[in-house]
Amino acid sequence: MLMRGVLNKLQALLFDIDGTLADTDALHLQAFNAVFAPFGHAFDRARAARELLGRSNASIGAEFLPDERPERRAAIMAQKEEVFRGLAAGAVQPLPGLMTLLDHAAAASIPVVAVTNAPRANAELILRGLGITDRFRAVIIGDELPHGKPHPLPYLEGLRAADATPDCAVAFEDSRAGIAAATAAGITTIGMRTNLGHDELIAAGAAISAAAFDEAEVLALVKAGAPR
Protein backbone atom coordinates (compact mmCIF):
# COMPACT_ATOMS: atom_id res chain seq x y z
CA MET A 1 0.00 0.00 0.00
CA LEU A 2 1.29 3.45 -0.91
CA MET A 3 0.61 4.83 2.56
CA ARG A 4 1.91 1.95 4.64
CA GLY A 5 4.03 4.42 6.63
CA VAL A 6 1.03 5.86 8.46
CA LEU A 7 -0.66 2.55 9.21
CA ASN A 8 -0.76 1.35 12.81
CA LYS A 9 0.01 4.86 14.08
CA LEU A 10 -2.57 7.16 12.48
CA GLN A 11 -3.12 10.18 14.71
CA ALA A 12 -5.31 12.51 12.66
CA LEU A 13 -7.37 13.02 9.52
CA LEU A 14 -7.32 16.53 8.08
CA PHE A 15 -9.91 17.69 5.54
CA ASP A 16 -10.22 20.58 3.19
CA ILE A 17 -13.86 21.69 2.97
CA ASP A 18 -14.88 23.07 -0.44
CA GLY A 19 -14.65 20.40 -3.10
CA THR A 20 -13.57 17.84 -0.53
CA LEU A 21 -16.25 17.41 2.12
CA ALA A 22 -18.86 18.67 -0.34
CA ASP A 23 -18.71 19.48 -4.03
CA THR A 24 -19.47 23.18 -3.67
CA ASP A 25 -17.22 24.30 -6.49
CA ALA A 26 -20.04 24.82 -9.01
CA LEU A 27 -21.62 27.24 -6.53
CA HIS A 28 -18.33 29.09 -6.09
CA LEU A 29 -18.01 29.29 -9.87
CA GLN A 30 -21.48 30.80 -10.13
CA ALA A 31 -20.65 33.34 -7.42
CA PHE A 32 -17.31 34.28 -8.97
CA ASN A 33 -18.90 34.83 -12.37
CA ALA A 34 -21.71 36.94 -10.91
CA VAL A 35 -19.34 39.23 -9.02
CA PHE A 36 -16.33 39.29 -11.35
CA ALA A 37 -18.22 39.82 -14.63
CA PRO A 38 -18.18 43.64 -14.31
CA PHE A 39 -14.38 43.42 -14.13
CA GLY A 40 -14.13 41.48 -17.40
CA HIS A 41 -13.59 38.00 -15.95
CA ALA A 42 -15.46 34.82 -16.84
CA PHE A 43 -14.60 31.33 -15.64
CA ASP A 44 -15.60 27.85 -16.64
CA ARG A 45 -15.00 24.93 -14.29
CA ALA A 46 -11.67 23.97 -15.88
CA ARG A 47 -10.30 27.50 -15.60
CA ALA A 48 -11.60 27.85 -12.06
CA ALA A 49 -9.84 24.62 -11.08
CA ARG A 50 -6.58 25.97 -12.51
CA GLU A 51 -6.74 29.55 -11.29
CA LEU A 52 -9.18 29.96 -8.40
CA LEU A 53 -10.07 26.91 -6.38
CA GLY A 54 -8.15 26.31 -3.19
CA ARG A 55 -6.50 29.74 -3.19
CA SER A 56 -6.94 32.44 -0.56
CA ASN A 57 -9.22 35.36 -1.29
CA ALA A 58 -6.31 37.74 -0.80
CA SER A 59 -4.29 36.11 -3.57
CA ILE A 60 -7.30 35.89 -5.91
CA GLY A 61 -8.11 39.55 -5.37
CA ALA A 62 -4.52 40.60 -5.97
CA GLU A 63 -4.38 38.71 -9.27
CA PHE A 64 -7.77 39.43 -10.78
CA LEU A 65 -8.50 42.87 -9.30
CA PRO A 66 -5.06 44.49 -9.51
CA ASP A 67 -6.40 48.00 -10.22
CA GLU A 68 -8.60 48.09 -7.13
CA ARG A 69 -7.49 49.47 -3.79
CA PRO A 70 -6.93 46.77 -1.13
CA GLU A 71 -10.04 47.71 0.82
CA ARG A 72 -12.14 47.63 -2.35
CA ARG A 73 -10.70 44.21 -3.28
CA ALA A 74 -11.65 42.92 0.15
CA ALA A 75 -15.18 44.26 -0.25
CA ILE A 76 -15.55 42.61 -3.67
CA MET A 77 -14.33 39.28 -2.32
CA ALA A 78 -16.69 39.59 0.64
CA GLN A 79 -19.55 40.18 -1.82
CA LYS A 80 -18.57 37.02 -3.71
CA GLU A 81 -18.67 35.01 -0.48
CA GLU A 82 -22.05 36.46 0.43
CA VAL A 83 -23.39 35.39 -2.96
CA PHE A 84 -21.91 31.93 -2.43
CA ARG A 85 -23.50 31.53 1.00
CA GLY A 86 -26.87 32.46 -0.45
CA LEU A 87 -26.48 29.76 -3.10
CA ALA A 88 -25.12 27.15 -0.69
CA ALA A 89 -27.66 27.52 2.12
CA GLY A 90 -29.55 24.24 2.25
CA ALA A 91 -27.92 22.99 -0.93
CA VAL A 92 -24.78 21.16 0.21
CA GLN A 93 -24.46 17.38 0.16
CA PRO A 94 -21.52 15.29 1.41
CA LEU A 95 -19.19 13.59 -1.02
CA PRO A 96 -19.93 9.86 -1.28
CA GLY A 97 -18.69 7.85 1.67
CA LEU A 98 -17.89 10.82 3.91
CA MET A 99 -20.18 9.76 6.74
CA THR A 100 -18.82 6.21 6.61
CA LEU A 101 -15.25 7.46 6.92
CA LEU A 102 -16.12 9.85 9.76
CA ASP A 103 -17.91 7.02 11.58
CA HIS A 104 -14.82 4.82 11.31
CA ALA A 105 -12.62 7.65 12.56
CA ALA A 106 -14.90 8.24 15.55
CA ALA A 107 -14.98 4.53 16.38
CA ALA A 108 -11.17 4.47 16.25
CA SER A 109 -10.85 7.69 18.33
CA ILE A 110 -8.93 9.39 15.51
CA PRO A 111 -9.42 13.17 15.65
CA VAL A 112 -10.49 15.05 12.54
CA VAL A 113 -9.70 18.67 11.72
CA ALA A 114 -10.89 20.92 8.90
CA VAL A 115 -8.25 23.04 7.15
CA THR A 116 -9.55 25.58 4.65
CA ASN A 117 -8.91 28.90 2.94
CA ALA A 118 -12.64 29.62 3.06
CA PRO A 119 -13.94 32.38 5.36
CA ARG A 120 -15.13 31.03 8.69
CA ALA A 121 -18.75 31.91 7.89
CA ASN A 122 -18.55 29.70 4.78
CA ALA A 123 -16.85 26.85 6.61
CA GLU A 124 -19.38 26.88 9.41
CA LEU A 125 -22.30 27.04 6.96
CA ILE A 126 -21.05 23.97 5.09
CA LEU A 127 -20.26 21.92 8.19
CA ARG A 128 -23.62 22.84 9.67
CA GLY A 129 -25.39 22.05 6.42
CA LEU A 130 -23.76 18.62 6.34
CA GLY A 131 -24.63 18.05 9.99
CA ILE A 132 -21.02 17.31 10.95
CA THR A 133 -19.92 20.36 12.95
CA ASP A 134 -19.46 18.32 16.11
CA ARG A 135 -17.27 15.76 14.32
CA PHE A 136 -14.37 18.21 14.01
CA ARG A 137 -11.93 18.98 16.79
CA ALA A 138 -11.00 22.29 15.14
CA VAL A 139 -11.58 24.35 12.01
CA ILE A 140 -8.42 26.06 10.78
CA ILE A 141 -9.01 29.11 8.55
CA GLY A 142 -6.16 30.15 6.27
CA ASP A 143 -7.19 33.80 6.15
CA GLU A 144 -6.97 33.96 9.95
CA LEU A 145 -3.28 33.03 9.81
CA PRO A 146 -0.25 34.94 8.50
CA HIS A 147 -0.27 32.60 5.47
CA GLY A 148 -3.02 30.55 3.80
CA LYS A 149 -2.69 27.67 1.39
CA PRO A 150 -0.52 26.87 -0.58
CA HIS A 151 1.70 27.75 2.38
CA PRO A 152 1.96 24.79 4.81
CA LEU A 153 1.05 26.89 7.86
CA PRO A 154 -2.69 26.02 7.88
CA TYR A 155 -1.87 22.31 7.90
CA LEU A 156 0.81 22.75 10.54
CA GLU A 157 -1.84 24.44 12.68
CA GLY A 158 -4.19 21.56 11.92
CA LEU A 159 -1.60 19.08 13.16
CA ARG A 160 -1.13 21.12 16.31
CA ALA A 161 -4.88 21.16 16.96
CA ALA A 162 -5.01 17.38 16.56
CA ASP A 163 -1.83 16.84 18.62
CA ALA A 164 -0.46 14.86 15.68
CA THR A 165 2.80 14.61 13.77
CA PRO A 166 2.98 14.86 9.95
CA ASP A 167 4.08 11.25 9.47
CA CYS A 168 1.03 10.04 11.39
CA ALA A 169 -1.63 12.07 9.58
CA VAL A 170 -3.52 11.93 6.30
CA ALA A 171 -4.98 14.94 4.48
CA PHE A 172 -7.80 15.05 1.93
CA GLU A 173 -7.65 17.76 -0.73
CA ASP A 174 -9.10 18.53 -4.16
CA SER A 175 -6.98 21.46 -5.37
CA ARG A 176 -3.39 22.03 -6.38
CA ALA A 177 -2.96 24.75 -3.75
CA GLY A 178 -4.36 22.49 -1.03
CA ILE A 179 -2.21 19.52 -1.99
CA ALA A 180 0.84 21.79 -2.09
CA ALA A 181 0.07 23.03 1.44
CA ALA A 182 -0.51 19.58 2.92
CA THR A 183 2.49 17.93 1.31
CA ALA A 184 4.75 20.86 2.23
CA ALA A 185 3.69 20.21 5.83
CA GLY A 186 4.89 16.63 5.39
CA ILE A 187 1.42 15.05 5.33
CA THR A 188 0.47 12.16 3.07
CA THR A 189 -2.38 13.49 0.94
CA ILE A 190 -5.30 11.85 -0.84
CA GLY A 191 -6.60 13.80 -3.83
CA MET A 192 -10.37 13.83 -4.22
CA ARG A 193 -11.47 13.74 -7.85
CA THR A 194 -14.12 16.48 -7.81
CA ASN A 195 -12.41 18.91 -10.18
CA LEU A 196 -9.05 17.42 -11.10
CA GLY A 197 -8.42 14.00 -12.60
CA HIS A 198 -6.19 11.29 -11.19
CA ASP A 199 -3.11 12.28 -13.18
CA GLU A 200 -3.46 15.95 -12.24
CA LEU A 201 -3.82 15.14 -8.55
CA ILE A 202 -0.81 12.83 -8.57
CA ALA A 203 1.24 15.43 -10.45
CA ALA A 204 0.30 17.97 -7.77
CA GLY A 205 1.69 15.66 -5.08
CA ALA A 206 -1.16 13.43 -3.92
CA ALA A 207 -0.18 9.88 -2.97
CA ILE A 208 -3.39 8.42 -4.40
CA SER A 209 -6.69 9.75 -5.69
CA ALA A 210 -10.24 8.77 -4.84
CA ALA A 211 -13.74 9.59 -6.01
CA ALA A 212 -15.36 8.59 -2.70
CA PHE A 213 -14.32 8.38 0.93
CA ASP A 214 -15.51 4.80 1.31
CA GLU A 215 -13.17 3.37 -1.31
CA ALA A 216 -11.27 0.38 0.04
CA GLU A 217 -7.82 1.96 0.20
CA VAL A 218 -9.15 5.03 2.01
CA LEU A 219 -11.08 3.09 4.64
CA ALA A 220 -8.09 0.80 5.12
CA LEU A 221 -6.12 3.75 6.46
CA VAL A 222 -8.55 4.21 9.33
CA LYS A 223 -9.32 0.56 9.97
CA ALA A 224 -5.66 -0.46 10.05
CA GLY A 225 -4.27 2.80 11.37
CA ALA A 226 -6.24 3.25 14.58
CA PRO A 227 -4.00 4.01 17.56
CA ARG A 228 -2.97 0.86 19.39
Answer for the pair 196, 23: CB distance below 8 angstroms, yes or no: no
What residues are annotated to the active site? 16, 18
Neighbouring C-beta atoms of residue 166, cutoff 10 Å: 20
Report DSSP letters for 89-119, one per residue: TTT--BPTTHHHHHHHHHHTT--EEEEESS-
Q: Enter the DSSP assignment of 4.
A: G
List 189's β-bridge partners, or say none.
Answer: 171
Say if residues 138 and 144 touch (Cβ distance below 8 Å).
no
Pseudo-torsion of CA 119, 167, 20, 156, nearest 10°? 10
What 8-state DSSP symbol labels residue 215?
A: S
3 state SS of 161: helix
